[in-house]
Amino acid sequence: MTAHDVEPDNAVHPGKPVTVDRYTVGARINHWITAASLILLALSGLALFHPSLFFLSGLFGGGQFTRFIHPWIGVVLFFSFFGLFIRFWKANLWKREDGTWLARIRDVLANHEENVPEVGKYNAGQKFVFWAMSVLIVILISSGLVIWDQYFSAYTTVGQQRVALLVHAIAAVAIIGVWIIHAYSALWVRGTIPAMIRGSVTGGWAWRHHRKWLRELVTKPGGRSGSKPAE
């Protein structure tokens, strides 16, 4: 078993309840910048996407500013997410148990996690979100640049821009959909949001949702409180 699932900063603190470090401060800041960007992008993007949502441009001080700021937020999102990607990509590599987990997704949704295999730091659902976000953000940034009229209109043909617009719109819908899954899961699985706020989860949360990760943390050298890796 590779140790991809266990990041250096993750640690277990014995106690009652047990607490487990899940995200460092850097990761959390990085996440919330990404989250904020994505939400702002969704709001500004939806304003430009459907007339019935154009009122959302009011949140940004009007259509002109919405049009101006949306692509810049996209740039922020891209680099911010790139940070997350560097941090998390290894932990999101596909594992054998992920297939089984996915096959039993009905049990997951029915709150019968006891019927699914133990998973590492991320379950298949989270991995799907991670990879979907990664792919969609690449699509969105590249199609977004093509339709960023102010700076890049001269580099492509109108025909290419039309393709980019359609791709951008579809990818945006998809990413908002993925985000809904992500956000709902975090809400539904209690104890998850605090992980991204405080950085740690309870032992029970880890036992319940990411038991394999917990086991690895517990068994890895220096995986427990205070200890640092050997080197």
Catalytically active residues are 182
Residue 203 engages another protein in binding (rule: CB under 8 A): yes
Q: Cβ distance 145 to 110 under 8 Å? A: no
Options 3, 188, 197, 198; binder of another protein; rule CB under 8 A? 188
Tokens representing 220?
């890895």
Q: Is 50 exposed, middle or buried (0-12, 13-18, 19+ CB in 10 A)?
A: exposed
Instruction: Retrieve residue 140's tokens.
Output: 């969105």
- CB contact at 8 A, 210 and 119: yes
Shortest reach from residue 83's CB to another protein, in Å: 27
DSSP 16: S
Over the window 109 to 148, marking each residue x when it contacts another protein by CB under 8 A and - when it does not, the resulting string is xxx-x---------------------------------x-
Give the interface segment with another protein, choosing from 1-9, 79-87, 95-103, 213-221 (CB under 8 A). Answer: 213-221
Site string for another protein, 62-81 (x = CB under 8 A): xxx-xxx-------------
Query: Are 37 and 77 a contacting pair, CB within 8 Å?
Result: yes
58 binds another protein (CB under 8 A): no
In the β-sheet with 12-13, what is the strand arrangement from edge to edge? 12-13, 19-21, 200-202
Pairing mode, if any, of strands 200-202 and 19-21? antiparallel
Contact positions vs another protein (CB under 8 A) = 12, 14, 16-18, 47-51, 54, 57, 62-64, 66-68, 109-111, 113, 147, 149-150, 153, 158-159, 161-163, 165-166, 169-170, 172-173, 176-177, 180-181, 184, 187-191, 202-208, 214-215, 218-219, 224
